A and B are shown apart, each in its own frame.
Chain A
């Protein structure tokens, strides 16, 4: 790659911009504040615990969601295990604590992605996923909000979130080229 070609982070941001998905770069120490800025209503946020050392969900997020709280919430916060720069995709692992429904049922999904988990292209992402899927795990490669054109025009939020926001966590690691 030549010196002046955009970095994976820049490409990721460009891809997300094209999808009308907002992305915020955050430092671990300002994570709570950044999250509070993007959620729809801090009173109705569900999430699943983030598997990261540098940050965890603030206490105003319901991190033990139930079907009832899932239904009442407006924002869902979950971790992404990978990001794909070329497409603006985030990879969402399905976990026993309910990341899949939490990322799917709310009007807004906030995906938390470590910068070091960003890869350049789809092939690399799938290579990373291979061993995990072979161990029996599942994941969604999610790119932008839920959408449909079935009713005559493009509408966001067909069955899943109307909006997606990516919090890109600066955690000192270098992104893969």
Chain B
């Protein structure tokens, strides 16, 4: 549970990682992420491939018990053994016994996150077995005695210079090692010696096919091939979710896994091993016996780990976690991960977006709680995930459950008045404050400007920071006394319904209605300029704010109220136009989980982002001359959720059609993400993420441009980062616009 000191400690830890590991993590993840975009662009039908991969995993998890039975039979027919371990202790006991029976002195391993989950190295070492990681990155960490910071590239946080210092200190080579080439060749030589003397080779498995008993390993170095083939005993450890029905099912994953992860079209080696393998043992104790003359009796053990997975399979909200192919796309595309890496954005074993599901499933909620808040719900990982897992939803569900597991009764009665939510458990004070932002905004607006003046006072900010952790370095938005709805009611509609081309409801999201009223007015004028009759009825907040704090019951209640308020308009054939992309994302995405199917479909079918709607009007013949077309050059940042919904293209197209000169940002997220950037413990991280955006908008080419952003948070963040006003695209197009 967050507290003043807890938040401070967290901020310190994040600051430390930003300074030490941040630069290497940033360079590597940005490279992987760009590689992914470039690589998937070459695929003829990326979306179809993802859908196919998803369908295979859905089917495999659905039929898991049956496939595990088939796999057991196949492996046994092939001459291997299958052991289904209940948990880490069970798996480790089996592997230790195996090592003991083989009188094994050394086990060589290829990279396996599942073996990290088991902590099998420590278990074997306790018995005096020498365990050697042969993946170069893993070996670096073994030498340094550190944990992986990335599920695919474990030493991503270490620079070449650091590795050189480590090796030179540890091994004292005749000539100090310096270049990547020297370091690699040194490691190859050292590990080559260790592999040739190994008694057991241990690998993981990216996939296992039930029909043939084949394990697929995705690697680039060749160490997995050596580990599996040189010794006569091979142990493969894998989560039981890795099984797929047939060899043919591997095809889409082979095409997707490297591209999604490190941005390689394919890694050097896709090993398809059906153990015990036909290849001869490479026995350096028998150096002169030809391979062809050997009579090897290879031993193979497949250790499948449950460790909470079968329970995850029964969990309707978290089951999707088991579809994860551990490609790391969700980590590489995540703004926060790009800044701090897996040592902050990770639990006991797993890191990155999907780690919340894994940690909650295999280690428990406490491990997930450590880093779950680092998911801001920006949703960029949803598009990146090759098996289409709704990762933000998994994070939200775990956050909700953590809230409910919290201590009751620590909130006083007064505070409960301020936060009229539906939460039965005890979300932390900070979460409830931001989750109930709508109530706060209403109150703030009704009492403006006094509320703004109060909120701006030093002592008040100090108190806010100490009690609820609102960082005092972050300017607070100013509430407007006259809301968008008040303004519109007084002013009335300028295009009569009878003469109008279309009739719309402009959704008065909390921020537009109470704070950034100007962008709401601009939206009304832009729509009217295109001959649209605009209504601004009383509709509650979408539930985005409580959802982002993991308050699902409150968000659910909001969704019902929004639908109730809009249903009549939808029935009357009116379109719903939304300014704030995160609210539209609720209507189009999360409401599927919160509303009855029919209600969800009716609302989402007629809901549009405002520039998407303008685009549609122009495409259907609306006259653009009433819009402002002689505007300034623009630096545009589209909103993360808007891009995941594929809507950024419409803003671009409208600006294009109206001949605006636009420079667009290339970052995944501004780093603000609603309340995230206000939180004391995350302020510096939020600014660090934002720095990547600021860099792009302060280049000589961009620094004189009008800054335009589609999301509330992005506008606030850009205001803070650049000390230049950022506006919404409708404010640029507004016929009365004065922005330049």
B160 on the A face (CB < 8 A): yes
* Contact yes or no, B273 A138, CB < 8 A: yes
A130 to B248, Cβ gap below 8 A? yes
Q: Shortest beta-carbon distance, B220 to chain A, in Å? A: 5
Contacts of A134 in B (CB 8 A): 211-212, 247
Q: B residues within 8 A CB of A148?
A: 136-137, 184, 220-221
In the complex, A144 Cα to B272 Cα: how many Å? 17
Is there an interface contact between A138 and B214, defined as CB atoms closer than 8 Å?
A: yes
Decide if A143 touches B283 in the complex (CB within 8 Å): no
- Are B282 and A157 within 8 A (Cβ)? no
Q: Check if A155 sits within 8 Å of B292, measured CB to CB.
A: no
- B287, A126: Cβ atoms under 8 Å? no
Interface residues of B in 198-230 (CB under 8 A from A): 209, 211-214, 220-223, 225-226, 229-230
Instruction: Please give, as numbers and ranges, the residues of chain B lying within 8 Å of A55 by CB-CB distance.
Output: none
Query: Of the candidates A96, A101, A123, A136, which one forms a contact with B251 in the assembled complex, judged by CB atoms under 8 Å apart?
Result: A123
**A32, CB-defined interface residue at 8 Å:** no
- Does B374 reach chain A (CB closer than 8 Å)? no
Known pairs A96-B292, A160-B268; A67 contacts B284 (CB<8 A): yes
Query: Which residues does chain B contribute within 8 Å of A161, judged by CB atoms?
Result: 222
11 pairs, CB–CB < 8 Å, chain A vs chain B: A67-B287, A100-B225, A101-B282, A126-B250, A136-B78, A140-B225, A148-B184, A152-B163, A153-B179, A155-B185, A159-B221
Produce 1/0 per residue, A44-73, CB < 8 A to B: 000000000000000000001111101100
Cβ-defined contact, A151 with B288, below 8 A: no
Question: How far is A161 from B188 in the complex, measured between Cα atoms in Å?
Answer: 11
The answer to whether B287 touches A101, judged by C-beta atoms less than 8 angstroms apart, is no
Contact with A along B158-200 (1 / 0, CB 8 A): 0111010000000000000001110111011001100000000
Q: Quick one: given A94-B273, A140-B270, are A101 and B279 in contact (CB under 8 Å)?
A: yes
Q: Which residues of A contact B248 (CB under 8 A)?
A: 126-127, 130
Q: Shortest CB–CB separation between residue A11 and chain B, in angstroms?
A: 12
Total chain B interface residues with beta-carbon distance under 8 A: 70
Question: Within 8 Å of chain B (Cβ to Cβ): is A104?
Answer: yes
**Complex interface: chain A residues within 8 A of B222 (CB):** 104, 146, 158-161
B residues near A, CB below 8 A?
A: 78, 134-137, 140, 153, 155, 159-161, 163, 179-181, 183-185, 187-188, 191-192, 209, 211-214, 220-223, 225-226, 229-230, 246-248, 250-251, 254-255, 262, 265-275, 277-280, 282-284, 286-294
- CB of A95 closer than 8 Å to a CB of B: yes
Chain B CB within 8 A of A139 CB: yes
Complex Cα distance A137/B287, Å? 25
Contact between A122 and B255, CB atoms less than 8 A apart: yes
CA distance A129 to B250 in the complex (A): 11
Q: How far, in whole Å, are A76 and B184 apart by their CA atoms in the complex? A: 21
Q: Which residues of B contact A146 (CB under 8 A)?
A: 220-222, 268-269
Interface range on chain A (Cβ under 8 Å from partner): 35 or more
Output the nearest chain B residue to A95 by Cβ-Cβ distance: B278
The smallest beta-carbon distance between B175 and chain A, in angstroms, is 16
Is B268's CB under 8 angstroms from A145's CB? Answer: yes
Instruction: Give A89 to B191 CA distance when docked, in angstroms.
Output: 27
Output the residue of A98, A129, A145, A158 with the most chain B CB within 10 A. Answer: A158
Enumerate chain B residues within 8 angstroms of A152, measured Cβ to Cβ. Answer: 159-161, 163, 180, 183
CA distance A99 to B282 in the complex (A): 12
Q: Which of A108-146 contact B (CB under 8 A)?
A: 122-123, 126-127, 129-130, 133-134, 136-146
Contact of A150 among B137, B247, B277, B289 (CB under 8 A): B137
CB pair B180 A159 closer than 8 Å: no
Cβ A143 vs Cβ B274 within 8 A: no
A142, B418: Cα distance in complex, Å: 62
Whole-angstrom distance between the alpha carbons of A146 and B255 in the complex? 19
In the complex, A33 Cα to B544 Cα: how many Å?
70
**A149 interfacial by beta-carbon distance below 8 Å:** yes
| A122 and B254 within 8 A (CB) | yes
Q: Is A147 an interface residue (CB 8 A)?
A: yes
A87 interface hit (Cβ, 8 Å): yes
Contacts of A17 in B (CB 8 A): none
Tell me if A20 is interfacial: C-beta within 8 Å of chain B.
Answer: no
Q: Are B247 and A66 in contact, with the CB atoms below 8 A?
A: no
Interface centre among B159, B250, B265, B268 (most CB of A within 10 A): B268
- Pairwise interchain contact A94-B221, C-beta atoms closer than 8 A: no
How far is B267's CA from A113's CA once the two chains are assembled, in angstroms?
Answer: 20
Contact call A97/B291, Cβ cutoff below 8 A = yes
Residue of chain B at shortest CB distance from A124:
B251
Report B-chain residues with C-beta under 8 Å of the C-beta of A70: 282
Residue of A nearest to B184 (CB): A155
Query: Given A142-B269, A147-B220: A65 and B290 within 8 A (CB)?
Result: yes
Taking a contact as CB atoms closer than 8 A, the residue among B221, B230, B292 that contacts A97 in the complex is B292
Q: Are A64 and B292 in contact (CB under 8 A)?
A: yes
A22 to B229, CA, bound (A): 27
Given the known interface contacts A95-B278, A138-B274, A138-B277, the answer about A89 and B266 at a Cβ–Cβ threshold of 8 Å is yes
B153 in contact with A130 (CB, 8 Å):
no
- Judging by beta carbons under 8 Å apart, are B274 and A133 in contact? yes
Give Cα A174–Cα B49 distance, bound, in whole angstroms. Answer: 29
Whether B292 pairs with A141 at a CB distance below 8 angstroms is no
Give CA–CA (A158, B209) in the complex, Å. Answer: 28
With both chains docked as a complex, state the minimum distance between the C-beta of B519 and any C-beta of chain A, in angstroms.
45
Are the CB atoms of A104 and B140 closer together than 8 Å? no
Let me know if B247 and A133 touch, CB within 8 A: yes
Given contacts A100-B225, A134-B247, contact A150 B136 (CB under 8 A): yes
A122, B267: Cα distance in complex, Å:
13
Q: A141–B290 Cα gap in the complex (Å)?
A: 25
CB nearest to A142 among chain B residues: B269
Listed residue (A71, A144, A150) with the most chain B CB atoms within 10 angstroms of its CB = A150
Give complex CA distance A152, B251 in Å. 31
- When chains A and B are docked, how far (Å) is the Cα of A39 from the Cα of B292? 23
